[in-house]
Amino acid sequence: MNKDIQELSELHWQQDLLGSIEVGIVVLEKDFSVAVWNQFMENHSSVRPSQIIGKNLFSLFPEIDETWFKRKCDPVFNMGSPAFIIWEQRPYVFKFGTSRPITSASDYMYQNVTIFPLASITGETQRICVLVYDVTDQAMAKQSIEGLNARLQEVSRIDGLTGLYNRRYWQERFEREYKMAMRNDPDVCAIMLDIDHFKKVNDTHGHHAGDLVIKRLAKLITLATRETDICGRYGGEEFAIILPDTTEKTAKIMAERLRKLVSLDAVPYEDIKIKYTISIGIAQFTSDYREAVLWLEDADKALYEAKEGGRNRVVLAHEGSLE
């Protein structure tokens, strides 16, 4: 084989290699004109090498942030050090559609991009090579795992019957509120409330009817509180609420409103309507509480007083019944 044919054949398989590789290969001159544009880039951009070779990259891809991209390439040209752009920083450099539009949940191709210097014989970097990797599958998998984790975390905080926070998470929030209150000494109240004679509801109408009453009460609690209030199911038929930015006077008004709402309510069950009432204990935070639990205990004592005082009433800690 003569030398020319040998060179040509080598060039041919090198072209073949560039063409079949599932990675985008772009070679850029110092002025950001394109010197190499492989098959992958052509397939995904629909721009043929003949349309782009010798042309300025940004003139054909105005979506690339020129200032940012040049800043990335600067150390590659000037110091010969490679640069990396990962999809988590910027989902893509070239806005390509996904190559699997049916199976992929993404509208565009997520890309990892590597930029490295192509040194001349003298060691000078005249050109740089930009490699574009399609990482859509990894990105989608990671995002779906993150979504699942977030969902799992949310589910693990929620009480299945009522949709309010469960005891564990409510307690966590309560501890957090307590620590914040110790620092800032704001107006914040804790409420404990409990359905009156709930055992009788269960005994008379059955456990399922009891569950419906618990669910209904949770709904009324949600209705009567602000979005910023932190409502949780503390035990079977016991609920706990944190009212941020609330004095005991305002908490009392809110609690009274809820108590009345409940006393007027009736839960439809089979062909009857179940009436029920609640008792409520309130404790406003003071920095005298050396531990979070002491604050909650005061709310619980107030609740106990409300029960002792005849039920269907609101009691403030360190104060008599309101009714």
Ligand X SMILES: Nc1nc2c(ncn2[C@@H]2O[C@H](COP(=O)(O)OP(=O)(O)OP(=O)(O)O)[C@@H](O)[C@H]2O)c(=O)[nH]1
Residue 39 DSSP one-character state: H
- State the Cα angle at 176 between 215 and 143, rounded to 5°: 75
Question: Within a 13 Å sphere around the CA of 309, how many CA atoms are in the beta-carbon half?
Answer: 20
Q: Which two tokens stand for residue 171?
A: 């307690």
CB-CB contact of 85 with 112 (8 Å): yes
Nearer to ligand X, 207 or 249 (CB): 207
| Active-site residue flag, 237 | yes
What is the residue type of 255? A
Q: Residue written as tokens 């990892």?
A: 112
Question: Does 194 contact ligand X by CB under 6 A?
Answer: yes
Question: Does 196 contact ligand X by CB under 6 A?
Answer: yes
* Closest by Cα among 37, 50, 38, 30 to 128: 30
Query: In whole angstroms, how far apart are CA 191 and each of 240, 255, 285?
Result: 5, 8, 11
Among 12, 199, 226, 318, binds ligand X (CB under 6 A): 199
CB-CB contact of 132 with 113 (8 Å): yes
Question: Does 214 contact ligand X by CB under 6 A?
Answer: yes
Question: Does 211 contact ligand X by CB under 6 A?
Answer: yes
Question: Does 236 contact ligand X by CB under 6 A?
Answer: yes
Question: Does 307 contact ligand X by CB under 6 A?
Answer: yes
CA distance 16 to 39: 9
Nearer to ligand X, 236 or 268 (CB): 236
Please report how close the Cβ of residue 279 comes to ligand X at its closest, in angstroms: 7
Please report how close the Cβ of residue 310 comes to ligand X at its closest, in angstroms: 11
Question: Does 210 contact ligand X by CB under 6 A?
Answer: yes
Stretch touching ligand X by CB under 6 A, among 40-48, 77-85, 100-108, 205-213: 205-213
Nearer to ligand X, 115 or 195 (CB): 195
Q: Which two tokens stand for residue 150?
A: 């977030």
Active-site residue (options: 124, 175, 227, 237): 237
**Phi, psi torsion values for 277, nearest 5 degrees:** -135, 165
Instruction: Map residues 237-276 to x or -, x wherever contact with ligand X holds by CB under 6 A.
Output: x---------------------------------------
CB-CB contact of 280 with 221 (8 Å): no
Nearer to ligand X, 70 or 197 (CB): 197
Q: What separation, in Å, do the N-terminal and C-terminal C-alpha atoms of the chain show?
A: 109
Residue nearest to ligand X (CB): 236
Among 128, 195, 243, 280, binds ligand X (CB under 6 A): 195
Nearer to ligand X, 71 or 199 (CB): 199
Q: In the complex, which residues of this chain contact ligand X (CB under 6 A)? A: 194-199, 202, 207, 210-211, 214, 236-237, 307, 311
Query: Known catalytic residues?
Result: 237
